């Protein structure tokens, strides 16, 4: 499979490695909506081509044009990625990360 910048929709259910929350994927789900943690599995969204597989910690959020974005940092390789938050994400945690509480 070659690298592609095109988004690949994947519907995948999973249990969060960090908090144990069961997540029903929508095809756009790439993190736990409860604790916001993720895994470094993609190079481009949905491709599952990353060899890293490190844990992605939510380190901060940004609020742009009435939408939250989560910035994750891989604890294994150090890469940072910004993704759009989902409407079902933990609002209290999104705000805490925005305000650095």
Residue 26 has a pLDDT of: 86
Question: From the CB of residue 26, how many other CB atoms can be counted at a distance below 10 Å?
Answer: 13
- In the chain, what is the straight-line distance between the N-terminal and C-terminal CA atoms, in Å? 42
Pair 18, 33: CB distance under 8 Å: no
Residue 54 has a pLDDT of: 97
Residue 6 has a pLDDT of: 75
Q: 10-residue block means of pLDDT along the chain (101 residues)?
A: 64 94 89 97 88 97 96 97 95 94 60
Pair 24, 15: CB distance under 8 Å: no
């Amino acid at each position: 499979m070659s690298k592609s910048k095109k988004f690949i929709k994947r519907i995948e259910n999973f249990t969060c490695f960090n908090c144990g929350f069961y997540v029903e994927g929508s095809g756009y789900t790439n993190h736990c909506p409860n604790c916001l943690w993720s895994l470094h599995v993609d190079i481009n969204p949905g491709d599952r081509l990353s060899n890293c597989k490190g844990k992605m910690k939510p380190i901060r959020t940004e609020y742009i044009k009435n939408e939250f974005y989560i910035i994750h940092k891989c604890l294994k390789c150090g890469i940072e990625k910004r993704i759009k938050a989902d409407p079902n994400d933990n609002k209290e945690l999104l705000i805490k990360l925005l305000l650095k509480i």
